[in-house]
Amino acid sequence: MSSHLLSLLPHYGPRHNLGHGLAQSVSAGLLPILGRAVEAPIDWIDRIRDRRQLAALSDAMLKDIGVSRADVEHEAEKHFWQA
Evaluate if residue 75 carries a pLDDT over 90.
Answer: yes
Q: Whole-angstrom Cα distance, residue 55 to residue 73?
A: 7
pLDDT at 28: 79
> Which residue blocks in 1-83 are alpha helix, DSSP H?
3-8, 18-56, 59-65, 69-76
Q: Whole-angstrom Cα distance, residue 65 to residue 67?
A: 6
80 Cβ contact list (under 8 Å, min separation 6)? 44, 47, 48
Q: What's this model's pTM, rounded to 2 decimal places?
A: 0.61
pLDDT band at 1 (very low <50, low <70, confident <90, very high): very low
Mean pLDDT of 52-65: 96
In tens, the pLDDT along 4-52 reads 555 555 554 455 555 567 777 777 788 888 889 999 999 999 999 999 9
Domain boundaries, the chain: 3-76
pLDDT at 48: 96
